[in-house]
Every structure is written in structure tokens, then in C-alpha cells.
């Protein structure tokens, strides 16, 4: 299925409407890790200091609000990928950002399902959020591949699909440790060039990818 990233032009929000929307997103971000798909819109409105009617004007459903949160935060995380790529060696930039992505997803219930749905639907903001994330991964993987530290045949969408599974785990110390292990496996797999696995060469696996401290 061909993906599109362009969004239809929308009328800019007035300053007060923009402020209300930003406050609602901030409130949802604060409450979402504990509530997930059961997030109370009334609680979000109270925390933001606006009426429930104002919330519904911006986000007609709970799903729309959660998706807007995912989009804002994934866009910010993608910007961090560019900053890491510009300031760190390519291998380290990929390692650090992928660990951040793994940890982030475990604190956002429903994000894995959202990205899996993105592969099957044409929902515009969901598609855009997915693409922002994939493009950040593509940037980092390409940089690591150019430096000889990653296989060139893997795409960001491949890695994202593999990572979505850990986002179904609860946000607990044990699950975060498991997420770090899964990310380490992905990074080791990315560092293995096609046809040159450690089993074939007799070399020890890299084992060099550790979670950020």
C-alpha cells in the first residue's frame, strides 16, 4: 500500500484555541502512562483547566486525543534522532535512539497497536506519525550502514515492526529490562551483515549494545 505523508491544509488555530489544545495535550501526556486506553476525558479537561466541551471541540474521541499525543511525542523523538545523528558517531546515535524508542513505547499503552494499525488503514495522522518514526529510523540506520556498523538491507519499518511487540508489556522494571534486551537483540542483528553471521564465521557476536544509563 502506498503511504502518503502530506496533510490537507487546515485553518490555523487562534492563539487561545492553540493554548487550550496545548494544555489538553500536556494533561493527556501526564495521565496517559497510568490510564492508557481508559484515559478519562473528563480528567484530562479538569487537569487542563478547560471545559469538557472545549476538549471535544479539539478531540471528538478518546482515540483522537491519544493519537494526537502519540504524534506530538513521536515528532519530538524524531527530532532527537536528527540531533543524535549530528552529534554522535553513527553507531552510538542508532543505539541510543533505539533504546529511547523502546523505553518510550513501554510507557504509552496502545502505541504498538496504533503502529500496527497504521500498516492497514489510511488514517492520516496515524500514517504521518508512523512515517515520522520510520524516517528517523531510516536516517540512523543509513548513517550506521555508511559507517560499516549496520547492514544496508534493513529498513526503519522492519525495525519498528519488530519493536512493537515489547510495547504491549506493562511499564515495570522487569518489562523495561526486557525491552532493553530486545533492543539489544535488534541492534546486534542490525550489526550482522547478510551472510556473515557469527555462527558462520566462528566469531563472537558483538554483544556491545548496552541500554543507556
**Digit-coded pLDDT (tens) for 95-116:** 999 999 888 877 776 666 666 6
Q: What is the pLDDT of residue 62?
A: 83
CA–CA gap between residue 93 and residue 85 (Å, rounded): 6
Sign of CA dihedral 71, 77, 181, 190: positive
* Matching residue, cell 508489556: 169
Residues 191/169, Cβ–Cβ less than 8 Å: no
Domain with CATH 1.10.10.60 in the chain: 14-60
* CATH 1.10.357.10 given to domain 67-201: yes
194: pLDDT strictly greater than 70: no
Phi/psi of residue 60, nearest 5 degrees? -65, -20
Stretch(es) of the chain classified as CATH 1.10.357.10: 67-201
pLDDT in tens, 36-62: 667 889 999 999 999 999 999 999 888
Nearest to 160 by CA among 97, 109, 115, 125: 115
Whether the Cβ atoms of residue 131 and residue 3 lie closer than 8 Å to each other: yes
pLDDT score of 105: 76
Q: What is the pLDDT of residue 35?
A: 66
CATH topology of domain 14-60: Arc Repressor Mutant, subunit A (1.10.10)
The predicted pLDDT at position 11 comes to 55
Instruction: Give the confidence band of 78 by pLDDT, cuts at 50, 70, 90.
Output: very high
Amino acid at each position: 500500500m502506498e503511504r502518503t505523508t502530506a496533510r490537507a491544509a487546515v485553518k490555523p488555530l487562534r492563539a487561545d484555541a492553540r493554548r487550550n489544545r496545548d494544555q489538553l495535550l500536556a494533561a493527556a501526556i501526564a495521565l496517559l502512562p497510568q490510564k492508557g486506553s481508559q484515559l478519562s476525558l473528563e480528567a484530562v479537561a479538569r487537569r487542563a483547566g478547560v471545559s469538557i466541551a472545549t476538549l471535544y471541540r479539539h478531540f471528538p474521541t478518546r482515540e483522537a486525543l491519544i493519537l494526537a499525543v502519540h504524534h506530538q511525542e513521536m515528532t519530538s523523538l524524531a527530532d532527537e534522532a536528527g540531533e543524535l545523528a549530528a552529534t554522535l558517531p553513527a553507531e552510538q546515535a542508532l543505539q541510543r535512539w533505539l533504546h529511547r524508542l523502546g523505553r518510550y513505547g513501554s510507557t504509552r499503552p496502545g502505541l504498538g497497536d496504533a503502529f500496527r494499525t497504521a500498516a492497514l488503514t489510511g488514517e492520516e495522522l496515524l500514517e504521518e506519525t508512523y512515517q515520522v518514526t520510520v524516517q528517523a529510523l531510516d536516517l540512523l540506520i543509513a548513517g550506521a550502514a555508511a559507517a560499516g556498523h549496520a547492514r544496508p538491507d534493513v529498513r526503519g519499518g522492519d525495525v519498528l515492526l519488530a519493536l512493537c511487540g515489547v510495547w504491549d508489556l506493562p511499564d515495570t522494571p522487569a518489562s523495561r529490562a526486557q525491552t532493553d534486551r530486545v533492543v539489544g537483540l535488534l541492534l546486534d542483528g542490525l550489526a550482522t551483515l547478510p551472510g556473515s553471521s557469527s555462527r558462520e564465521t566462528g566469531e563472537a557476536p558483538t554483544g556491545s549494545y548496552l541500554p543507556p544509563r
